[in-house]
Amino acid sequence: MNLLESVKIALEAIFSNKMRSLLTMLGIIIGISSVIIIVSLGHGSQQMILKEFESFGVNRAYLGLSWRENPRLRDYISKDDINILSEAFSKEIKGMSPMVSDSGKVIKRTEEIRVELSGVNEEFNKIENISMKKGRFLLETDMKTRRSAAVIDEKLALKVFGRTDVLEEEITVDLRNGQETFIIIGVMEDKPAPFGNLGGYEPPLAIYVPITNMEQMLGMNGNYWGLEINFNKGVNANQTLSRMISIIERRHNSEGKNLYITYTAESELQMVNQIMSILTLVVGAIAAISLVVGGIGVMNIMLVSVTERTKEIGIRKAIGAKYKDVMMQFLVEAIIISAIGGIIGILFGILISAIIAVIIGFPPAVSIISILIATLFSISVGIFFGFYPARKASKMDPINALRYE
Amino acid sequence: MKQVLRMIRIQDLVKVYKLGEIEVKALKNVNLHIKAAEFTSVMGPSGSGKSTLMNILGCLDRPTSGYYYLDQIQVDRMSPDELAEIRNKKIGFVFQSFNLLSRSSALKNVELPMLYAGVKPNERKERAVEALEKVGLSDRLHHKPNELSGGQRQRVAIARSLVNNPSIILADEPTGNLDSKSGIEIMDIFERLNEEGTTIILVTHEPDIASMAKRVIHFKDGEMVDDHETGKAEVSV
């Protein structure tokens, strides 16, 4: 008897008991679809994060003091350091700015709006992808004159003034040590937060002011603890950063003390990717357990089916079915049940992950590989869990089987 | 004149069942020869060993000791798969309870032995139709067993037993579940098949059914106690 005949017999058996077949498949359907959904959500969020990093700037880096090493004031990065680095790495660096931030709030009647006030230099819009809706970004003259100028987020303008056309308007920010008033010179286009407003969390809205102004407010004197950097495309960020550190170390006579640390978006991205992959794997593995449970369901039903069809097995054996004929018949039946369950599960998985992708705003990312693996897996489940019942059927003694009622 | 062959040759056949500690001798040293184209009835009370003999004759079971040659082939030491092949090619079974696949049509049921013999689908169908015609069921090809009467079901079973041109047909109480009219019809079919040269062995406990055979064998306590020819026997060489 060939495979095609076994498939025919199996299909007849499956379709003659539709309800039971469907219930048996259910375990596989749920297992496969949840694996597909989880893997595709994992991929989707990974792609999302990648996109986010791209808009934030993949070539971005941070160079700053390592607080673990208890840096002294003379280890801080000075204005001269910045100028020397700018010159030495003019080819590599697209933009470099010290950044000093403080959180505060803008009060509009009784409403408090949380803001993040950051002092940056005129190069900062080359670091962060800032596009202006109105007005301009900070200029070098703003730094020199310590002008109380502010570039604010579009959302903030809407909240405070109810419009975006707010150039030359004044905005007052409550800080820990008093109030500061700035003249708005620019409004930035709002950047959607990476995951929307998940959980109702709204990040504080950004206000950028000249670093010189911020220093004065906080009583700093041209010494910074960190630099935001954006490298040109194709620059090896980590290599360049270590060369920059060695220059700073030489200038501060602090070679080998590990006073400075760096972050690059690239390595952060790699880390995030790694974490996401592990997370996807772990949750996927948990979902795969449901597949095993589904497989046990297949075995259970196949065992019932074998017992129920003892007489049929006896007839087939009496008439000349060999060990392998009976084995094949039941194994193929288990495989087909699992495979059909797998296909339905894949379709369900694709559908549900597409729906979730639309709701959350992910790019849909059902990978061909996860479908292939799911298919392979469901067939293996059929073989693995179908083997024992099929063996039981094929080993039946024809005389006893025929006598079974 | 037909060539007379020893279709079945059984020598010193013993079958012992172990029921826990106790050994039950179901067959004690049976010697039996059956020629080709013979029509033999096997009779005996329950527990006489006739069912055991039928199981061994039908290659469903193996003897504990002794020899069994079927159509010149020694089958008493064969493996289960080898026996399955012998059953498929050389033996046709007709059971008391028909033993048809309830989900399959008459045609599919008759095709079944050929499925395991590896016959191609077209030929399978052709031969199955032919066999069903032979038992007068050409108008019931696509009926399922539960749409057929008992007599018709048994005729499907006979068609199935014939379809691989077996050396012998083993019928185990084929009329046991039938009314007398259908029983006679079935026996007529057997007689006709025998006239055409098929070797038939029939187990029954009804004397008038047994007497339709040419030879009647009686079993008791695992031994053959009587073996005689009925008046129907042809003069054989």
Query: What confidence tens digit (pLDDT) does each residue in B86-129 have?
Result: 999 999 999 999 999 998 999 999 999 999 999 999 999 999 99
Where is pLDDT greater, at A346 or A129?
A: A346
> pLDDT digit string (tens) for A158-172?
889 989 899 999 999
Highest-confidence segment of A74-83, A107-116, A198-207, B166-175: B166-175
> pLDDT digit string (tens) for A43-62?
888 888 877 777 666 788 89
Is B70 domain-assigned? no
pLDDT at position B85 is 95
Is A61 domain-assigned? no
Residue A250 sits in the same domain as residue A115: yes
Q: Is the pLDDT of residue B4 over 80?
A: no
Residue A118, classed as helix, strand or coil, is: strand
Q: Of A107, A9, A104, A97, nearest to A57 (Cα)?
A: A97
> pLDDT digit string (tens) for A282-321?
988 888 888 888 889 899 999 999 999 999 999 999 999 9
Residue A96 sits in the same domain as residue A33: no
Tell how strand B91-94 and strand B168-172 pair up. Answer: parallel
Grade residue A199 by pLDDT with cuts at 50, 70 and 90.
Answer: low
Q: Is the pLDDT of residue A258 over 50?
A: yes
Q: Is B93 in Cβ contact with A319 (below 8 Å)?
A: yes
Determine if the pTM surpasses 0.90. no
State mean pLDDT over A11-26.
89
Q: Is the pLDDT of residue A195 over 60?
A: no
Q: Is the pLDDT of residue A194 over 70?
A: no
In terms of CA atoms, which chain A residue is nearest residue B104? Answer: A12
- Which of A319, A324, A402 to mutate to probe the B interface, most B CBs <10 Å? A319
For B26, the enclosing helix (H) or strand (E) is strand B22-35
Is A264 domain-assigned? no
* Domain CATH code at residue B198: 3.40.50.300
Residue A81 sits in the same domain as residue A16: no
Q: Could you give the percent of chain A with pLDDT greater than 70? A: 96
Residue A131 sits in the same domain as residue A198: yes
Residue B165, classed as helix, strand or coil, is: coil
Dist. CA A187–CA A133, nearest whole Å: 5
pLDDT at position A361 is 77
Rg of chain B over CA atoms, in angstroms? 18
State mean pLDDT over B8-19.
92
CA distances from B200 to A100, B6, B26, B168, B194 (A): 105, 13, 23, 6, 7
Residue B158, classed as helix, strand or coil, is: helix
A322/B contact by beta carbon, under 8 A: yes
Beta-carbon contacts of A13 under 8 Å, excluding residues fewer than 6 positions away, are: A305, A333, B103
Please measure the distance between the N-terminal and C-terminal CA atoms of chain A and give it in whole angstroms. 27
Is B100 domain-assigned? yes
Is A263 domain-assigned? no
pLDDT at position B153 is 95
Dist. CA A278–CA A46, nearest whole Å: 12
Is B107 domain-assigned? yes
Dist. CA A403–CA B53, nearest whole Å: 16
Dist. CA B121–CA A32, nearest whole Å: 37
| Helices B106-117 + B80-90 axis angle, to 10 | 130
Residue A254 sits in the same domain as residue A279: no
Range list of H helices, A93-169: 124-127, 140-144, 154-161
User: Looking at beta carbons, which residues of chain A come within 8 Å of B75?
Assistant: none
Q: Among A211, A226, A258, where does a domain finish?
A: A258
Residue bearing tokens 């690239």: A266
Q: Is A399 in Cβ contact with B61 (below 8 Å)?
A: yes
Domain count, chain B: 1
Q: Is the pLDDT of residue A385 over 90?
A: yes
Q: Of A208, A210, A215, nearest to A78 (Cα)?
A: A215
Grade residue B236 by pLDDT with cuts at 50, 70 and 90.
Answer: very low
Residue A223 sits in the same domain as residue A275: no
Among B61, B100, B115, select the one facing A5 at the smallest CB separation. B115
Is B209 domain-assigned? yes
pLDDT at position B2 is 47
Dist. CA A13–CA A7, nearest whole Å: 10
- Which of B15, B52, B101 to mutate to probe the A interface, most A CBs <10 Å? B101
> pLDDT digit string (tens) for A205-257?
889 999 998 888 888 778 888 899 999 888 888 889 999 999 999 998 888 88
Q: Could you give the percent of chain B with pLDDT greater than 70? A: 96
User: Looking at beta carbons, which residues of chain B come within 8 Å of A16?
Assistant: 103
User: Looking at beta carbons, which residues of chain A come within 8 Å of B61?
Assistant: 399
Range list of H helices, A16-78: 18-56
Residue A320, classed as helix, strand or coil, is: coil
Dist. CA A331–CA B26, nearest whole Å: 37
Q: A354 and A361 in contact (C-beta within 8 Å)?
A: no
Q: Among A195, A229, A258, where does a domain finish?
A: A258
Q: Is B61 in Cβ contact with A319 (below 8 Å)?
A: no
pLDDT at position A281 is 86
Residue A287 sits in the same domain as residue A239: no
User: Looking at beta carbons, which residues of chain B come within 8 Å of A317?
Assistant: 84
Torsion of CA A8, A11, A12, A16, to 10 degrees: 180
User: Looking at beta carbons, which residues of chain B come within 8 Å of A6?
Assistant: none
Whether this model's ipTM surpasses 0.90 comes out as yes
Residue A128 sits in the same domain as residue A247: yes
CA distance, residue A376 to nearest chain B CA (Å): 30
Is B24 domain-assigned? no
A174/B contact by beta carbon, under 8 A: no
Phi, psi of B139 (to 5 degrees): -95, 10
Lowest mean pLDDT among A51-60, A80-89, B13-22, B145-154: A51-60
Domain count, chain A: 2
Is B2 domain-assigned? no
Q: What is the extent of the structural domain holding A364?
A: 3-53+271-403
Among B87, B95, B101, select the one facing A320 at the smallest CB separation. B87
CA distance, residue B80 to nearest chain A CA (Å): 8
In terms of CA atoms, which chain A residue is nearest residue B92? Answer: A319
Q: Could you give the percent of chain A with pLDDT greater than 90? A: 37
Dist. CA B178–CA B189, nearest whole Å: 14
Q: B159 and B131 in contact (C-beta within 8 Å)?
A: yes
Residue A74 sits in the same domain as residue A18: no
Is A58 domain-assigned? no
pLDDT at position B1 is 42
Q: Of B31, B38, B30, nearest to B6 (Cα)?
A: B38
> pLDDT digit string (tens) for B133-161?
999 999 999 999 999 999 999 999 999 99
Residue A44 sits in the same domain as residue A118: no
Tell how strand A178-188 and strand A100-108 pair up. Answer: unpaired
pLDDT at position A405 is 77
Residue bearing tokens 């286009």: A189
Where is pLDDT greater, at A3 or B86?
A: B86
Give exposure, A72-83, as e/b (b: 16+ Cβ within 10 Å). eeebbbbeebbe
Residue A328 sits in the same domain as residue A397: yes
Is B191 domain-assigned? yes
CA distances from B197 to A171, B4, B90, B98, B132 (A): 114, 11, 14, 23, 18
Q: What is the extent of the structural domain holding B125?
A: 38-51+80-229
Is A86 domain-assigned? yes
Phi, psi of A304 (to 5 degrees): -60, -45
Residue A93 sits in the same domain as residue A236: yes
Query: How many residues are there in chain A?
Result: 405
Is B17 domain-assigned? no
Q: Among A258, A285, A308, where does a domain finish?
A: A258
Dist. CA B229–CA B237, nearest whole Å: 14
